[in-house]
Amino acid sequence: MPKTEHWQWYAEEFAPTERHEHAVEELLAAGRSQFQQYAVLRTPVFGKMLVLDGDTQSSQGDERIYHESLVHPAMAAADALSEVLILGGGEGATLREALRHPGVARCTMVDIDGEVVELCKRHLPEWGAGAWDDPRARVIIGDALRFLREDHDRYDVIISDLTEPLPDSPSWPLFNGAVFRDIKARLSEGGVYVLQASTAAFHNMALHVKMARTLRNYFTYVRSYFAYVPAFDTAWAFLACSDAVDVQALSGERIARHVAELRGENFYYDEETHRRLFALPLYLRRALAEKGEVFS
Amino acid sequence: MPKTEHWQWYAEEFAPTERHEHAVEELLAAGRSQFQQYAVLRTPVFGKMLVLDGDTQSSQGDERIYHESLVHPAMAAADALSEVLILGGGEGATLREALRHPGVARCTMVDIDGEVVELCKRHLPEWGAGAWDDPRARVIIGDALRFLREDHDRYDVIISDLTEPLPDSPSWPLFNGAVFRDIKARLSEGGVYVLQASTAAFHNMALHVKMARTLRNYFTYVRSYFAYVPAFDTAWAFLACSDAVDVQALSGERIARHVAELRGENFYYDEETHRRLFALPLYLRRALAEKGEVFS
Amino acid sequence: MPKTEHWQWYAEEFAPTERHEHAVEELLAAGRSQFQQYAVLRTPVFGKMLVLDGDTQSSQGDERIYHESLVHPAMAAADALSEVLILGGGEGATLREALRHPGVARCTMVDIDGEVVELCKRHLPEWGAGAWDDPRARVIIGDALRFLREDHDRYDVIISDLTEPLPDSPSWPLFNGAVFRDIKARLSEGGVYVLQASTAAFHNMALHVKMARTLRNYFTYVRSYFAYVPAFDTAWAFLACSDAVDVQALSGERIARHVAELRGENFYYDEETHRRLFALPLYLRRALAEKGEVFS
Amino acid sequence: MPKTEHWQWYAEEFAPTERHEHAVEELLAAGRSQFQQYAVLRTPVFGKMLVLDGDTQSSQGDERIYHESLVHPAMAAADALSEVLILGGGEGATLREALRHPGVARCTMVDIDGEVVELCKRHLPEWGAGAWDDPRARVIIGDALRFLREDHDRYDVIISDLTEPLPDSPSWPLFNGAVFRDIKARLSEGGVYVLQASTAAFHNMALHVKMARTLRNYFTYVRSYFAYVPAFDTAWAFLACSDAVDVQALSGERIARHVAELRGENFYYDEETHRRLFALPLYLRRALAEKGEVFS
């Protein structure tokens, strides 16, 4: 039999009728933790990738698009930055982005899957880039829901980097009114809550729209935004929520100042990128304006 | 053998190590014209799709993202709209978008592949949506290069909807200084030339950057912009070129007026979408600012 | 996007975890008849292929392996050849093989799907190879079950070329005691009944074994045999049943005489191939000897 | 994104237009030795599989079909069994099969890739099944070509379990007249040389035919035989060569006695299976009878 140059493939399906296959150069790790199936692999186009339960979580090639978009709009907008809370975020890149700002006194990260956290420390050191050893980092392996209920601190920025609230996922119990009330109780006055919030392409925006609709019942300002992330093969959406600040309307000066204060250089985010992120296409604005179901 | 529900697949590769497979519900037509291999097929997620030489040209689900982005920024910006010229554009959707504006007195379209034009009229009537029968439409089956050389009219908007200038493609002879000079010669004072201009994701922006760099030698204003088009699986880029108008800086009023004058409703483009299209991510602006090769 | 040389694929799954993809050069026909989904396509390795409900039925490259194996052992063994009955067999190749013998006075074929029969006449003329026009051919478009019940003729050879008796298939009602009694009633003394009988590889022989076990309750001699058919990607099995003749034990002289009497040359079957077909591997003989479920 | 149950696939191509994809449950090992790329993976249908340079070498589900076919016809036929030599055979299953016969006094195995040998000992212990620790086993990590030249012993059975002699493969220098003369020099009178010898399906038998044609210039009896091995997705061929014995014509008594003397039970091979293996289909006998190229 003639030799096949690429014999190992990672297939992601965003529908049963759509398969995206990536040739795998090397599988660095694969297994099952207490909570999920995991793999770290390397592809020629995207570099190293983290896959959980068959879904791409991030790739070396473009993780900065996702993580800068998740972290910096909220941090640029919040009244203060001293205390940051991350729910999930096991790869360490959300922690890294938060700690790039010298104004952060403490960044608390609560992730339920210690085995995946260790996996990322070992195989994806570029994601954490030293953040794990920053004395301002407080990493708690535990249930974010319970932490929110039992903790009594206040946070200037709360970043939710959890998987999507699908009925059978571990994130399902983390997306309902009780939890939003807990989050509001932990948010400082002038604080911002931001979450990754599913996809926003024309054919897969229903869950995002439902998430946005739900959160509008809890926060004064709820802003959708999204970035095209090639490794996710789609437009990835976020929601920035606050009772005090409209993240969409942030001034260019404020964004520029925030970016200037960060240690190191950005790859994706700055004032102009902020305009792109929050300027939504007509079809998405129409969908967001429709009435419909909410999470209870 | 158990029955396979989806047995027919269309695979597109954007690299030898990346395959995107779409299950095909129905293959409506397939064959080879004098110039290229063609297929019209239907998939559950994207609806009907036109495929030329193995590349997705447009899908029923999101062709309006591509065609509204290609046509309307230039038309909103041009000093006049009376004469529009389309190079390529065989599907008929670019013609449709141009003719939606009542100010267009004549829209000339020059496409080399009459067989593909007939294919689209028959199988993709939603793309043309009546434009083929509009008395203002002048459809010429012929070589765009020769047309540019032999024609003596002037056009307010010139829209290039050709395939990419890869060395072995029929579009290769259409991307060089001689052609740009021909296009300038055909452009009215205050006119705008816009072209589809390859991809702008982090891993595939080199050709776009080279195209932009080249055109800056011929036009005063050369503006990159891009939209995420799901059926293309990537960020699709355009270049808006003019000696008179900076399309990026268009006022909201002007865009709103243009959109209001169009027959029917837009799906994608309006003032806010325009801001999104032209607000480029940091990594792309950096790449566009670098010196490098140009097309001769 | 770079051009993909092979963009159209036919995927057959023999398990949800096993996909065999064939690049399709041309899709000659595809649609849905009253009874099943059909396609005729061409691949570089196998030539034209007929696909019904997502399953390969036969390929130009190796259909003679399947059809010679189905038809000739039974015909070589039967006491007479004058009347042959084919149940199913829509491609026409089973009819062709039967009519290659000058001793056949009439070959009756009963297939339920007239649309697929016409499809094969048009797109797969190499399969029928003139048999459709042979005056000895009697082609009946109708229900084989009903034909067996209502017909009163006797046949020297009855060949069942139906799809597998899976619970949801049109062949399910054709595989039970009542039908076997009908078939016996139609079989001449000294006649042979042969059927295609699922697969015989180590991982997919259970259905074949159950079919064999069932038929042993109705016939004195029930012989399993199989051929590797590349287009089916597996070992394809048959059962030769008779109360008079042991097809497995056929003498070399008899086989040689039968083959010599055929019009034209064989590709696959002769005396030595007969030995191969009926010499079963140890694991299969062991499975056939086990007790277990039967079709009721 | 919805979860994909099977996200990891192993794709084997037997032509650029044919892909067979197996879902991978677990990748037990993957890497590159000094000589080749290797992987051990587990699939739902085939169990564990060894893959070298993207080609399936054997699977837990059916490796006994391959290894019993490779080893026992030659061993049943040889005049003596005391000294057996295996060229290649890194998985250890060829060694296991040889050592199942108590008449083997010493079995020498020469494989160039010690890293793959260790891999198989660790991850595929079912293949060796204790043979590695048998005191009669002499395992030499080294170049088979050099061993043949420098060794001075004689062997009753020589088994070549090397990869195919493709121009760019490490087996290429092992398939020429000089090597065959070396092998003959090492073969006892009454000895048999057997080799795995590429594929024998209608569309991929050319290499096998050329190998057979070549060996007929060196040995009195050169017999082709083949087994369908599902994990290889094709008919796998062998050549049994001897100046003294015609392996094809072996008596049933002799085969039965050999099998009875083996420790443990066979899965595939016995007298009837031997008849199957050596009874070749007409198309293959025709091809073997044609004149044509030989290896020099």
H-only helix segments in chain C: 63-77, 93-99, 114-123, 125-128, 144-150, 177-186, 206-215, 252-261, 271-278, 282-289
Characterize A47-68 residue by residue with b for buried, 16 or more Cβ atoms within 10 angstroms of its Cβ, and e for exposed. Answer: bbbbbbbbbbbbbbbbbbbbbb
Q: CB distance from B22 to chain A under 8 Å? A: yes
Supply the Cα-derived Rg of chain A in whole angstroms. 19
| B11 neighbourhood in chain C, CB within 8 Å | 4, 6-9
Please report the ipTM that was assigned to this predicted complex: 0.95
CB contact under 8 A, D23 and C43: no
Task: In whole angstroms, give the CA distance from residue A212 to residue A216.
Answer: 6
pLDDT in tens, A87-112: 999 999 999 999 999 999 999 999 99
In-domain check, residue B127: yes
In-domain check, residue D84: yes
Chain D's closest residue to C19, CA to CA, is: D21
Which residues 36-75 in chain D show a CB within 8 A of chain C? 43-46, 61-62, 65
| Of B101, B181, B114, residue with least CA distance to B145 | B181
CB contact under 8 A, B9 and C9: yes
Q: CB distance from B8 to chain C under 8 Å? A: yes
Average pLDDT over residues A198-210: 95
To test the contact with chain C by mutation, choose from D5, D10, D12, D17 the residue with the greatest count of C C-beta atoms within 10 A, namely D17
The residue that leads in pLDDT, B4 or A241, is A241
Just list the catalytic residues of D. 161
Q: What is the pLDDT of residue D3?
A: 45
**Which H or E run includes C161?**
strand C155-161
Residues B93 and B199 in one domain: yes
Residues B69 and B155 in one domain: yes
Residue A6: pLDDT band (50, 70, 90) is confident
Number of domains in chain B: 2
| B14 neighbourhood in chain C, CB within 8 Å | 1-2
Assess contact for B74 and B161: CB atoms under 8 A.
no
Is the pLDDT reported for residue D41 higher than 70? yes
In-domain check, residue D2: no
E strands, D5-82, in order: 8-15, 18-23, 26-32, 37-43, 47-52, 55-59
CB contact under 8 A, B164 and C1: yes
Is the pLDDT reported for residue A76 higher than 70? yes
pLDDT in tens, B142-167: 999 899 999 999 999 999 998 777 77
| D228 neighbourhood in chain C, CB within 8 Å | 201, 228, 235
Q: Which domain holds residue A25?
A: 9-59
Predicted TM-score (pTM) of the model is: 0.90
Residue A49: pLDDT band (50, 70, 90) is very high
Q: What is the pLDDT of residue B1?
A: 32
Q: CB distance from B8 to chain A under 8 Å? A: no
Residues A73 and A114 in one domain: yes
Amino acid at D287: A
DSSP state of B6: -
CB contact under 8 A, A6 and D11: yes
Chain D's closest residue to A4, CA to CA, is: D54
Average pLDDT over residues D182-207: 96
Q: CB distance from B118 to chain C under 8 Å? A: no
In-domain check, residue B1: no
Task: In whole angstroms, give the CA distance from residue B259 to residue B279.
Answer: 20
Is the pLDDT reported for residue B74 higher than 90? yes
CA C79 to chain centre: 21
Which chains touch C (3+ CB pairs under 8 A)? B, D
Just list the catalytic residues of C. 161
CB contact under 8 A, D280 and C279: no
Question: How many angstroms separate the first and last alpha carbons of chain C?
Answer: 57
CB contact under 8 A, B282 and A276: no
Residues D45 and D68 in one domain: no
Q: How far is A75 from chain B (nearest CA, A)?
A: 18
CB contact under 8 A, D13 and A21: no
**Nearest beta carbon to residue A9 from set D11, D53, D234:** D11
Q: What is the 3-state secondary structure (H, E, C) of A114-172?
A: HHHHHHHHHHCHHHHCCHHHCCCEEEEECCHHHHHHHCCCCEEEEEEECCCCCCCCCCH
Average pLDDT over residues B57-66: 97
Residues A42 and A187 in one domain: no
Residue D2: pLDDT band (50, 70, 90) is very low
Q: CB distance from A167 to chain D under 8 Å? A: no
pLDDT in tens, D124-159: 999 999 999 999 999 999 999 899 999 999 999 999
In-domain check, residue C138: yes
In-domain check, residue D4: no
Q: CB distance from C206 to chain D under 8 Å? A: no
CB contact under 8 A, B54 and C21: no
Residue B175: pLDDT band (50, 70, 90) is confident
Cα–Cα distances in Å, from C51 out to A36, A183, C57, C59, C71?
39, 56, 6, 9, 21
In-domain check, residue C296: no
Hey, how many other C-beta atoms are within 10 angstroms of the C-beta on D42? Answer: 17
**Nearest beta carbon to residue C22 from set D18, D22, D65:** D18
Q: CB distance from D32 to chain C under 8 Å? A: no
Residue C174: pLDDT band (50, 70, 90) is confident
The residue that leads in pLDDT, D276 or A7, is D276
| C17 neighbourhood in chain D, CB within 8 Å | 6, 22-23, 43-45
**Nearest beta carbon to residue C51 from set B7, B30, B53:** B7
D61-65 contacts at long range (C-beta below 8 A, 24 or more positions apart): D61/C202, D61/C203, D61/D230, D61/D231, D62/C202, D62/C203, D62/D229, D62/D230, D62/D231, D63/D91, D63/D93, D63/D127, D63/D231, D64/D93, D64/D266, D64/D267, D64/D268, D65/C202, D65/C281, D65/D227, D65/D228, D65/D229, D65/D267, D65/D268
Residues C39 and C113 in one domain: no
Which chains touch D (3+ CB pairs under 8 A)? A, C
Tokens of C88: 């199913």
Is the pLDDT reported for residue A169 higher than 60? yes
Residues A121 and A136 in one domain: yes
As a whole number, the mean pLDDT across chain A is 94
pLDDT in tens, C203-215: 999 999 999 999 9
Q: How far is B66 from chain C (nearest CA, A)?
A: 16
- The burial of D270, by beta-carbon neighbours within 10 Å (0-12 exposed, 13-18 middle, 19 or more buried), is given as buried
Q: CB distance from A132 to chain D under 8 Å? A: no
Q: CB distance from D18 to chain A under 8 Å? A: no
Q: What is the pLDDT of residue A149?
A: 92
CATH number at residue D48: 2.30.140.10
Which chains touch A (3+ CB pairs under 8 A)? B, D
- The burial of C296, by beta-carbon neighbours within 10 Å (0-12 exposed, 13-18 middle, 19 or more buried), is given as exposed
Tokens of A155: 């946070």
Which residues, listed in sequence order, are joined to residue C42 by a DSSP beta bridge? C26, C48
H-only helix segments in chain D: 63-77, 93-99, 114-123, 125-128, 144-150, 177-186, 206-215, 252-261, 271-278, 282-289
Residues A112 and A172 in one domain: yes
**Helix/strand/coil for C199:** strand
In-domain check, residue D92: yes
**Nearest beta carbon to residue B54 from set C5, C56, C164:** C5
Q: What is the pLDDT of residue A263?
A: 98
Nearest 5°: the CA angle D250, D252, D255 is 75
Q: Give the active site residue among A111, A161, A182, A270.
A: A161
CB contact under 8 A, C9 and B14: no
Task: In whole angstroms, give the CA distance from residue D162 to residue C261.
Answer: 44
CB contact under 8 A, B3 and C53: yes
Is the pLDDT reported for residue C19 higher than 50? yes
**Residue C237 exposure: Cα atoms within 13 Å on the Cβ side:** 27
CB contact under 8 A, D276 and C272: no
CATH number at residue C249: 3.40.50.150
| D8 neighbourhood in chain A, CB within 8 Å | 8-11, 24, 27, 30, 39
Residues D147 and D210 in one domain: yes
Q: CB distance from A205 to chain D under 8 Å? A: no
CB contact under 8 A, C282 and D275: no
Residues B243 and B137 in one domain: yes
pLDDT in tens, D54-77: 899 999 999 999 999 999 999 999
Assess contact for D29 and A26: CB atoms under 8 A.
no
pLDDT in tens, C76-103: 999 999 999 999 999 999 999 999 999 9
Where does a domain end: B25, B44, B59?
Answer: B59
Residues C244 and C285 in one domain: yes
Supply the Cα-derived Rg of chain D in whole angstroms. 19
Tokens of B36: 């290229």
Q: CB distance from A220 to chain D under 8 Å? A: no
To test the contact with chain C by mutation, choose from D8, D276, D285 the residue with the greatest count of C C-beta atoms within 10 A, namely D276
Amino acid at C106: R
Residue D177: pLDDT band (50, 70, 90) is confident
Q: CB distance from B202 to chain A under 8 Å? A: yes
**Nearest beta carbon to residue C279 from set D43, D272, D285:** D272
Residues A54 and A26 in one domain: yes
Q: CB distance from D289 to chain A under 8 Å? A: no
CB contact under 8 A, C4 and B21: no
**Nearest beta carbon to residue C1 from set B5, B26, B55:** B55
CB contact under 8 A, C279 and D279: yes
